[in-house]
Amino acid sequence: MESHRSATMTAQALGWIDEQTKALVPPLHPATTFIRDADNQYRAGYSYGRPTNPTFVPPEALLTRLEDGAACLTFASGMAAATTVFLALRPGDHIVAPQVMYWGLRNWLKSAAAEWGLVVDFVDASTTDALASAVKPGRTKLIWVESPANPTWLITDIAAAAEIARGAGARLAVDSTVATPLLTRPIALGADIVMHSATKYLNGHSDVVAGALVAARHDELWERIAAIRTGNGAILGSFEAWLLLRGMRTLHLRVERCCRTAQSIAEHFVDHRRVAAVLYPGLPGHPGHAVAARQMFGGFGGMLSIRVAGGERAAIATAAQVTVWKRATSLGGVESLIEHRASIEGPGSAAPGDLLRLSVGIEDAGDLIGDLEQALAAAG
Ligand SMILES: Cc1ncc(COP(=O)(O)O)c(C=O)c1O
C-alpha cells in the first residue's frame, strides 16, 4: 500500500491480511504474557502486556502512515499521551503553551507539571510574534500548540511555530485532535510530535478513551517517551486498540461529513439575530481563517462554537431545549453534542459564559439546524 491515499489506507487498515487464516480483520490479543523461547529469547518481540501488545500494531502503523511519521505509540487516553511528552522533559525545562487550549491539559500544566519543575509560559499561540517572543533560546525545550484550539478554534500557523522552535533549539508538539490526520499534516509542516485524543474523531463512536503520539523521527526523546509509557503503564487496553482500528476505517467518511455540516451550520447562524457570534475557522471572518485555509485541506473541522445573544442564561437555556443535539461533553463522535463550555470547565474557565460548543456529527444537517433554531427561539 506504499503509494495509496489515506482514504484507501484507512478503509483497508493498510491492507492487513492474516497470513495463516487470510482473515481481513486483525485479531484482538488479550494476552498479558507471552512464551519465552527455549534459548531464553523473546524472538516474537512480545514479553509482557505493559510494554506493548500485538493489538496495538495495526492502529499504530496506520497512524504513522496517516501522519507521515516515523513511529506511533497509542496510550490509555489523550491526557496520558500528552502528559507523557511533558514527563519526558527534565525539571527546569521551559515550555511555551497556548492560552487557548484543551482545559484539562492546561490545568495539568499549571498544577502537576509546575510541581514537577517544568516552567510553562502561556501565550497567544494564534500570533506568531507572541510565540517568537516567548521562547528562550537554549532553555525552551518544547513549544506545545493546539490547532484548531478549544473552544474558540483559534489557529496556530504550524510551519511558523516549527521555525521558531527550530531556531530556539526546541521541539514543536501539536495537539491535532480536532484537525485529525486528514485535515492537517503537522509533521509535513515541521512539527516533531503530533498528539491525538483518539477518544474523538479517530475512534469516532464515543465508546473508547484513547490517545496517540506520532513522532517525526525515532530519536532519544522518543525512546524516553516509550520508556515512560511502559514505566507508568499508560497503555491502551487491547479491546480499545481493536475498536480504535475499527473506528478509523470510516474516518474519511465521518470527517468529510462533519466538515461539510459544520460549515453549513456556521454559515446558517453567522447572521442570526439570536447569535452574537459564530466561531468557526471556515468562516472568512474568523481570525484564523487565512492560516487555516493554507494549512488545512478538505475542510475546517467539525467543531464550532456559538455565542448566544442573550448571554450565559440564554446559552444554558438554549442547550436545555435541544432534542436532536445531545447535551454532553467530548467531541468527534457520530452523534452531535452541545455543551455550555464554561460549566464543564468550572471556576477559572477562559470560555465566555455565552458560549455553546458544538461537536457536529453525521446526522442530517437540516435536522441539526432546525433543532438549534427551535432551541434558540424557545430560550429567547
Ligand atoms: C483537544 C483535546 N486534546 C486532548 C484531550 C484529552 O483527551 P482524553 O479525554 O482522551 O484524555 C481532549 C479531550 O477532550 C481534547 O479535546
Q: Give the Å distance between the CA of 101 and the centre of ligand 1.
A: 10
Residues 293-322 have pLDDT tens digits of 999 999 999 999 999 999 999 999 999 999
- Mean per-residue pLDDT, 91-112: 97
Confidence of residue 6 (pLDDT cuts 50, 70, 90): very high
Name 365's Cβ contacts closer than 8 Å, sequence gap at least 6: 260, 261, 264, 265
Three-state SS sequence of 264-299 = HHHHHHCCCCCEEEEECCCCCCCCCHHHHHHHCCCC
Residue 304 — φ and ψ, nearest 5°?
-150, 165
- Mean per-residue pLDDT, 83-102: 98
- d(CA 355, CA 303) in angstroms, rounded, equals 13
The confidence score (pLDDT) of residue 1 equals: 60
C-alpha cell at 76: 490509555
Confidence of residue 380 (pLDDT cuts 50, 70, 90): confident
- Mean per-residue pLDDT, 29-46: 97
Residue 358 — φ and ψ, nearest 5°?
-115, 125
CA distances from 310 to 276, 285, 319, 357 (A): 8, 21, 13, 16
- Going by alpha carbons, the residue nearest to atom 15 of ligand 1 is 102
The confidence score (pLDDT) of residue 145 equals: 98
Amino acid letter at 244? L
Residues 125-142 have pLDDT tens digits of 999 999 999 999 999 999
CA distances from 236 to 52, 73, 77, 80, 357 (A): 9, 10, 7, 10, 28
pLDDT at residue 9 tops 60: yes
Confidence of residue 3 (pLDDT cuts 50, 70, 90): low
Cα 80 → chain centroid: 13
Pocket of ligand 1 (CB under 6 A): 77-79, 102, 104-105, 146, 150, 175, 177-178, 197, 199, 209, 211, 331
Quote the mean pLDDT of the chain: 97
Residues 149-170 have pLDDT tens digits of 999 999 999 999 999 999 999 9
Atom of ligand 1 nearest to the CA of 198: 10
The confidence score (pLDDT) of residue 206 equals: 98
* % of the chain at pLDDT higher than 90: 97
Residues 210-227 have pLDDT tens digits of 999 999 999 999 999 999
- d(CA 54, CA 58) in angstroms, rounded, equals 8
Which residues are part of the catalytic machinery? 50, 102, 175, 200
Q: Give the Å distance between the CA of 257 and the centre of ligand 1.
A: 21
Q: Give the Å distance between the CA of 222 and the centre of ligand 1.
A: 21
Q: Give the Å distance between the CA of 102 and the centre of ligand 1.
A: 7
Q: Give the Å distance between the CA of 188 and the centre of ligand 1.
A: 23
Q: Give the Å distance between the CA of 159 and the centre of ligand 1.
A: 23
Q: Give the Å distance between the CA of 36 and the centre of ligand 1.
A: 38
- Going by alpha carbons, the residue nearest to atom 16 of ligand 1 is 102
Q: Which of 74, 75, 77, 79 to probe ligand 1 with, by most ligand atoms within 8 A of CB?
A: 79
pLDDT at residue 2 tops 60: no
pLDDT at residue 95 tops 60: yes
Residues 316-362 have pLDDT tens digits of 999 999 999 999 999 999 999 999 999 999 888 889 999 999 999 99
Atom of ligand 1 nearest to the CA of 81: 11
Amino acid letter at 25? V
